Amino acid sequence: MQRAQIIVVKLGTSVLTGGTDKLDKAHMVELVRQCCELKKQGHQVVLVSSGAVAAGREQLVTPCGRSLIDKQMLAAIGQGQLIHTWQSLFALYGVSVGQMLLTRADVEDRMRYLNARDTLNALLSYGVVPIINENDAVATAEIKVGDNDNLSALVAILANANKLLLLTDQEGLFTSDPRSDVNATLINEVAHIDDKLRQLAGGSGTNLGTGGMATKLQAADIACRAGVEVIIAKGAGENVILKCMAESLPGTRFLKLTPPRDGRKKWLLAGPKSSGQIVIDDGAIIALQKQGASLLAKGVQQVTGRFVRGDLIELVSPAGNSIARGLVRFDYTEVVKIKGCHSREIAAVLDFDTGAEVIHRDDMILL
């Protein structure tokens, strides 16, 4: 028997409706059967379920449009129906479910992140299947994750998962969108996500899904960096979830990278949204990548964004490549003043001395 694993299964609207305008309950029961089979094998399962907007649209008698407020209203109508459906289907197997509705604000703050993680772990320790969706009804643009692909990567980090299955209406990532290119071919394995690969991933080909392959790649990138293996596969495929575990599935498999050992660094991948960018010079890039150093003011070339002390900042090369992200120790006005300065000059420039590190190594994760 395989070692027990924690598996996050993300089910897109495309899978839950089978491309129609209704929840496909016959298929949902089939997915539930497979999840319960995994549980019987000793694994733990977390679902990230889309479908609230589709379920709301199914119930609303007067048709409505596709604006943000329409979708928020539909999610408010449909989420209850969605969780009720999951609850009754899992009950057929004697399995309880627990609903968690999250927004980015719930993972951005470290204390809220730890709270969400504790609740998720408590549900798993009682054999309950957590069913997670974005809290669309209250999520404004600032606190929205925006799509359930990215949300599922954050959940995989919260749950300390081994695998993330992104189930959708295609067999995986193709060389271009198979809806518009008959010659598109399936990419079986990805060792490294780069800009060339990102260019292959288009948006959603329907007005049901959100984000298409582009957001699935973003999710895969985050999850792989946190040490989670990611698979994109077709949700309608026979025994798709069980086959993902047996590695006998047509789909796109993304190899996991070595995860950071420190839990706080995993949170840096999942939690805060970037408030700005600092361009660093070649010397600083080598110091960060090869010597495990902190970022000193000397290596700062350019500053963008009105961040304050404690915000998360992206560090990029002069060519615009992402190098690292971390929590900055100065406000942006201060970084502008000290950029390029030697460490011993900082106290005189700022009239106070809080140390020379713009981002300390302990608060940084390399990308």
Ligand X SMILES: N[C@@H](CCC(=O)OP(=O)(O)O)C(=O)O
Residues engaged in binding ligand X (CB under 6 A): 12-14, 50-54, 75, 133-134, 136, 147-148, 209-211
Mark residues 83-122: x for contact with ligand ADP by CB under 6 A, - for none.
----------------------------------------
- Side chain identity, residue 356: A
Measured CA to CA in angstroms, residue 222 lies from 106, 119, 216, 320 at distances of 17, 22, 10, 19
Task: Identify what 136 binds: ligand X, ligand ADP, none; CB under 5 to 8 Å per kind.
Answer: ligand X
Stretch that binds ligand ADP, among 75-83, 204-212, 219-227, 266-274 (CB under 6 A): 204-212
Least distance CB 99 / ligand ADP (angstroms) = 20
- For residue 64, what are the contacts with CB-CB under 8 A and spacing of at least 6? 57, 70, 73, 74
Assess 251 for contact with ligand ADP (CB under 6 A). Answer: no
Determine which residue in the list 44, 49, 204, 218 makes contact with ligand ADP, applying CB under 6 A: 204
Task: Identify what 52 binds: ligand X, ligand ADP, none; CB under 5 to 8 Å per kind.
Answer: ligand X
Judged by CB, which is closer to ligand ADP: 211, or 251? 211
Assess 169 for contact with ligand ADP (CB under 6 A). Answer: yes
Assess 254 for contact with ligand ADP (CB under 6 A). Answer: no
Determine which residue in the list 6, 173, 222, 365 makes contact with ligand ADP, applying CB under 6 A: 173
Assess 178 for contact with ligand ADP (CB under 6 A). Answer: yes
Assess 174 for contact with ligand ADP (CB under 6 A). Answer: yes
Question: What is the size of the binding site for ligand ADP (CB under 6 A)?
Answer: 25
Least distance CB 48 / ligand X (angstroms) = 8
Judged by CB, which is closer to ligand X: 76, or 257? 76
